[in-house]
Amino acid sequence: MTIDQVILAAIVVVVLILIAVGLMRIVTRQRGANESAFGAGGVPHVAIGTAGVAKTLIHPSGVVLAAGEQWSANSASGARIEAGQPVRIVGQDGLTLLVEATGTGRPGGSGPADTAAPPSGA
């Protein structure tokens, strides 16, 4: 056997080992309980009273960051909620959160949610 044949054989063996390891990882991968339905570690519900932040203008719908994930959201009262304004989850309709602005003195935060105290432990 020449040195070229030895090198080629070594490369083939390494490639076959990498393919075998990749296939084993795919076959033995542990999936989260709800990963199939909601993506990587996603949750289907957010607790009422959870604090969040409007990522986009919500008028009447937009996107909020709550429970560490971005969610579609609707303003519960129909009030305009500016991007960056803190919000509180007041309900959920499927995978869409119903939110109210919390009292920050920012524009668009009119209504009862402005005077409400944030939930304890949030």
3-state SS record for the chain: CCHHHHHHHHHHHHHHHHHHHHHHHHHHCCCCCCHHHHCCCCCCCCCCCCEEEECCCECCEEEEEECCEEEEEEECCCCCECCCCEEEEEEEECCEEEEEECCCCCCCCCCHHHCCCCCCCC
Q: What is the pLDDT of residue 112?
A: 42
Listed as ranges, residues in the chain with pLDDT below 70 are: 30-42, 104-122
pLDDT at 45: 84
pLDDT value at residue 101? 94
Tell me the pLDDT tens digit for each residue of 37-72.
554 456 788 899 999 999 999 998 999 999 888 999
**Residue 109 pLDDT:** 41
Average of per-residue pLDDT values in the chain? 81
In this predicted structure, what is the pLDDT of residue 99?
Answer: 96
CATH number for domain 44-114, candidates 3.40.440.10, 3.90.480.20, 3.30.70.660, 2.40.50.140? 2.40.50.140
